[in-house]
Structure 1
Amino acid sequence: MESQIESKIYRVIDANLNRYKEGIRVVEDILRYGFDNKDISLKLKNLRHKANLKSSLEFIKFRDAQNDALKPTLNLELKRENLNSLITANLKRAQESSRVLEECFKLFDAQISEIFKNARYELYTVEKEILKLNL
């Protein structure tokens, strides 16, 4: 792969590693501190830690937050209807990011791609568990 294209993909990976961890962290903290739910909090923590890759520092070199084309906040992102919509939005964020990571890592490392594929399915399961709680 050409190095210029590689750097673009590394930027995509960096952004999605952050998005994945951030989305999970929001839900993890709500379940942990807001509802003292140790089981789901631990599942989320374990999922978040799957994104702690040895190569993460390599991807940061390609970060360009200043020039992010969608950096300004969209109006629909400014408000959440309730706690469930907050949780759902952040789980979707993590699920979508895990899909992007799964696809991008197919170019470099099939094992890491599988990690994010499995994480996405685990997130679907955790989302269902959380929705059953009726928070």
Structure 2
Amino acid sequence: MTSNLSEPKLFRLVDANLNRLKEGIRVIEDINRYIYDDQNITSKLKSLRHLAKIDNYLKILPHRDIQNDVLKKSIETELKRESVESLLLANYKRAQEASRVLEEAFKLIDAKKSEDFKTIRYALYALEQENLTGNGKP
């Protein structure tokens, strides 16, 4: 991360969405690993999760502000899932949305890293299709 990132609210935005992205990918990864036993998709997801690392993460950590998050309480639709597929879908969407936010935020910080988040987003679109249309399940 370059020194252009000096706005604490931007640090907070990056932190929240980096967590959201990696958590979403991890849920999808573990479903494919432990429920579907799909080494191919699991490996691709693991690679994406590792691509989502940023330099100087410890610089943004002090700006995390959980207490003042105006939407930290779950809404009704987040409290229940109907199936493993619904878990996958919710987490694909969560990760895709977070990668888009990071792609845009890093246009202000580091254009190369912005492209990494774009790569992650498009890879998630492709994996979602493979995973949820039966091509990724045994």
- Which TM-score tier does this pair reach, normalised by the shorter chain? over 0.9
| Structure having greater relative contact order (Cα 8 Å, sep ≥ 6) | 2
Does residue 28 of structure 2 align to residue 36 of structure 1? no
Amino acid at match of 2:89: T
- The residue aligned with 1:118 is 119
1:81-120 maps to which residues of 2 (within 5 A)? 81-120=82-121
Native 8 Å contact 2:5 2:11 kept in 1: no
Aligned-partner Cα distance in 1 for 2:18–2:59: 12
- The residue aligned with 2:74 is 73
**Structure 2 unaligned regions, length at least 5:** none
Does residue 113 of structure 2 align to residue 130 of structure 1? no
* CA offset digits 1:40-90 (Å, max 9, x no partner): 000001111112222222111110111111111111100012111110000
Aligned-partner Cα distance in 2 for 1:132–1:89: 15
Does residue 53 of structure 2 align to residue 52 of structure 1? yes
SS for the counterpart of 2:63 is coil
Amino acid at match of 2:120: A
The TM-score normalised by the length of structure 1 is: 0.93
C-alpha RMSD of the superposition = 1.5
Using the aligned pairs only, state the percent identity: 56
Counting matched residue pairs gives 133
Q: Which moved more, 1:57-66 or 1:14-23?
A: 57-66
